[in-house]
Structure 1
Amino acid sequence: MKRSIALSFALALGGLTSTLAQAQTTEVVASGLQNAWGVTFIGDGRMLVTERPGRMRVVGADGRLGEPLAGLPAIEAGGQGGLLDVITDRSFASNRTVYFCYSEPAASGGGNSTAMASAQLSPDATRLNDVKVIFSQQPKVSSR
């Protein structure tokens, strides 16, 4: 009995994953990004996209890339480290706050660590203002 239930479940799951795999499609919405890592929507079909080497850009609903945003802190890119994920605040429409994670270089000496910061996206979406580090891993370590 247990064996037939397990087999039925496996067959049903196999059929479901097969159906899901067939339903997935890939659509390129923007090109020209280097190691795109994180994405969050900011309204009007626009997105903020992070690039691991240390750039954040606005991508228009038409796929057009904006220039890299000004105002990002120092970011140490290497291996899997760099500018990582980004998310908007739940009240982004009124406060324009975003949160992002990145590899933060040591102020002196060597090493880096993961950090998280908040900032306000400027009204013209060209820069981050009032960047505040809200988490910084200590100690810094030599890592990629």
Structure 2
Amino acid sequence: MKIETKGIFFLLLLITTCNYNVFPQDSRLMGKWVNNEDYSDINYIEFKNENIVLLFQGEKQSPPFVFITDFTKEPVWINMKVEENGIEAKILGLLHFINPDKIKIEFFYGEFEEQPTDFSLNKNSQSQLYIFNRLK
């Protein structure tokens, strides 16, 4: 029995689309991530759903940030925005999965013309680098 090329292409397209819809790229981020450093600005981060993230410093919780990711980039671009009392704050970031249960995130503060594309090695940069472990 001969299967047409168009039929195979359609089947592969359907499978790919279903996998993307069932397993969205951001699903790897969902949940709570803990930073075990003693003197850290952010103790843990919680990705609530595919576009809301909360940052915690001790028991203090940030307002909900809306975030977007670009998994086509390496490291992954993660950008966050929050508006409270008419004031808008934006944070540009980079994310790298060290393994499925450990991520490295660097948040860049200040006004940037372009998205940073590499993790900073400069201690004087306006950024914070964090290593988070998935809370199970």
Question: Scaled by the length of structure 1, what TM-score is found?
Answer: 0.33
> Which protein has the bigger strand share?
2
